[in-house]
Amino acid sequence: MNFAERYAGLKPSGMLKIFQAADADPDIISLGVGEPDFDTEPDIIDEAARAAKAGYTHYGPIQGFEDVRRAVCSYWDRRYGLKSVPEEVQIMAGGVQSVYLGLQALLDPGDEVITAEPCFAPYFDQIYQNRGVIVHLPSSEEEGFVPSAEAIERAVTSRTKVLMICSPGNPTGRVIPRSRMEAIAAVAEKHDLTVFSDEIYDSMVYNGKHVPFASIPGMKERTLTMGGLSKSHCMTGWRIGYAIGPAPLIKIMTLLGANQTYGVNVPTQRAAMYALNNHDRKIEERAKIFRERLAYTAKRLNAMPGIRCPEPEGAFYLFPEIRGTGLSSEAFAWALLEKGRVAVLPGSSFGECGEGYVRIACTCSMENLEKAMDRMDIFLQTLNR
């Protein structure tokens, strides 16, 4: 069988290799997977069952049910003041599909996409698969792991079409300040860029409130906001997400999506509408739990030799510096996995500027976090003898 030439060198990512190794050994405590450990709330599950029994078992609208899209609009309006209409929303199979469809709709071969790094690694493959050119834009911890407007300006060429940002950030958990967003917005407007703003962790901001990039003046008409219920409503396995963007872009994305998934699971859509309309208090309760876990873990990490961890700002990730151990990010992650029985992800998996850091997901119980930190402490004490 002859595969497409552009995929001839396709290999598992460093992230996937660690996930596979951790899954193979039940004794390993995994702090690698970005998935809440909470199950979906029972009343959301009941709503899906009710919908199926009521006859929601046929094809649904390709763009998503209008009342489901209206629920997305209502969620973002009441929580963050971002106003939109159902024509500007597409329901899809997980937030990650919104990136793919958006790139497919916008990119011609050779068009450039600036990735503000460190960032969610699947962006890279999605850009490549849509014949785009990745422009890696690194940032430093001193910059809050957010590139400056000046750095973005220098990266722009005549072929630049898209800028990709994420706040709260994966893998860093950092939140882009509004002042930085405004400066980035000025560059996007100057160069007519479309901004892909990954805001899947919108419900997990621990100082102040989440600021949608599309709410910055002049940005709504050039921003694709990517969201979903996987993190906020603990619905990772339901595979439902959405995009909010200019209606002409959403229209093209919908037509493209029709040839891929032909819409989204119908009972899942009904459950998602119920969740969006009724679970604000629950997501606030879970955000409080994640904040407590992050604070505990950061405190433990900062007491360990060779580790330095900034205070958490958002999401459920920590991105501690491990240069003091003398190991590279990948060497540290594999040594901790094999000797310490704890799985974390090398920061280099999220872009070269992530070298010297690891990503820790505080997505397990406090009991398991305590065990993981005890194991990591022992590992480091042994490492430094």
Q: Where are the alpha helices (DSSP H) in the chain?
A: 14-23, 42-53, 66-80, 95-106, 122-129, 149-155, 178-190, 247-258, 266-278, 280-302, 329-335, 366-383
* DSSP strand pairing (241-244 vs 89-92): antiparallel
Closest of 180, 179, 170 to residue 202, by C-alpha: 170
pLDDT of residue 36: 95
Q: Are residues 244 and 290 located together in one domain of the fold?
A: no
User: How far apart are the C-alpha atoms of 47 and 222, rounded to whole Å?
Assistant: 35
SS3 318: strand
User: How far apart are the C-alpha atoms of 90 and 200, rounded to whole Å?
Assistant: 15
Domain region containing 379:
5-40+281-383
pLDDT of residue 26: 86
User: How far apart are the C-alpha atoms of 204 and 182, rounded to whole Å?
Assistant: 21
DSSP bridge pairs for 243: 90, 226
Q: What tokens does 382 get?
A: 């042994």
pLDDT of residue 167: 97
The answer to whether 324 and 307 are in contact (CB under 8 A) is yes
SS3 49: helix
pLDDT of residue 13: 67
Q: Are residues 171 and 210 located together in one domain of the fold?
A: yes
Q: Are residues 147 and 294 located together in one domain of the fold?
A: no
Domain ends where: 248, 278, 308?
278
pLDDT of residue 384: 67
Q: What tokens does 355 get?
A: 């070298």
User: How far apart are the C-alpha atoms of 153 and 157, rounded to whole Å?
Assistant: 9
Q: Are residues 92 and 219 located together in one domain of the fold?
A: yes
pLDDT of residue 20: 78
Q: Look up the CATH number of the domain holding residue 179.
A: 3.40.640.10
DSSP string across 103-151: HHHHPPTT-EEEEESS--THHHHHHHHTT-EEEEE---GGGTS---HHH
Domain ends where: 278, 307, 328?
278
The answer to whether 262 and 97 are in contact (CB under 8 A) is no
Q: Are residues 269 and 290 located together in one domain of the fold?
A: no
User: How far apart are the C-alpha atoms of 243 and 250, rounded to whole Å?
Assistant: 8
Task: Give φ, ψ of 141 to 5 degrees.
Answer: -60, -35
Q: Are residues 270 and 326 located together in one domain of the fold?
A: no
Looking up tokens 């998935």 gives 35
User: How far apart are the C-alpha atoms of 299 and 256, rounded to whole Å?
Assistant: 47
Domain ends where: 216, 248, 278?
278
Per-residue pLDDT tens, the chain, 385 aa: give them. Answer: 878 887 777 776 667 778 777 777 889 999 998 999 999 999 999 999 999 999 999 999 999 999 999 999 999 999 999 999 999 999 999 989 999 999 999 999 999 999 999 999 999 999 999 999 999 999 999 999 998 999 999 999 999 999 999 999 999 999 999 999 999 999 999 999 999 999 999 999 999 899 999 999 999 999 999 999 999 999 999 999 999 999 999 999 999 999 999 999 999 999 999 999 999 999 999 999 999 999 999 999 999 999 999 988 999 999 999 999 999 999 999 999 999 999 999 999 999 999 999 999 999 999 999 999 999 999 999 886 6
pLDDT of residue 242: 98
Q: Are residues 126 and 262 located together in one domain of the fold?
A: yes
User: How far apart are the C-alpha atoms of 173 and 176, rounded to whole Å?
Assistant: 10
Q: Are residues 188 and 295 located together in one domain of the fold?
A: no
- Residue 296, number of CB atoms within 10 A of its CB: 15
Task: Give φ, ψ of 213 to 5 degrees.
Answer: -60, -35
Q: For residue 164, how far is the Cα from the chain centroid? A: 12
Containing H/E element for 334?
A: helix 329-335
Task: Give φ, ψ of 136 to 5 degrees.
Answer: -70, 120
Q: Look up the CATH number of the domain holding residue 326.
A: 3.90.1150.10
The answer to whether 200 and 284 are in contact (CB under 8 A) is no
Q: Are residues 315 and 376 located together in one domain of the fold?
A: yes
Q: Are residues 229 and 133 located together in one domain of the fold?
A: yes
* Overall domain count for the chain: 2
Calculate the alpha carbon distances from 83 to 75, 212, 214 in Å: 10, 11, 9
Q: Are residues 53 and 33 located together in one domain of the fold?
A: no
SS3 153: helix
Q: Are residues 237 and 292 located together in one domain of the fold?
A: no
The answer to whether 101 and 126 are in contact (CB under 8 A) is no
User: How far apart are the C-alpha atoms of 284 and 268, rounded to whole Å?
Assistant: 22
The answer to whether 27 and 223 are in contact (CB under 8 A) is no
pLDDT of residue 18: 82
Q: What tokens does 72 get?
A: 């997305």
* DSSP strand pairing (160-166 vs 112-116): parallel
The answer to whether 89 and 250 are in contact (CB under 8 A) is yes
Closest of 129, 97, 130 to residue 7, by C-alpha: 129
Query: Whole-prediction pTM value?
Result: 0.94
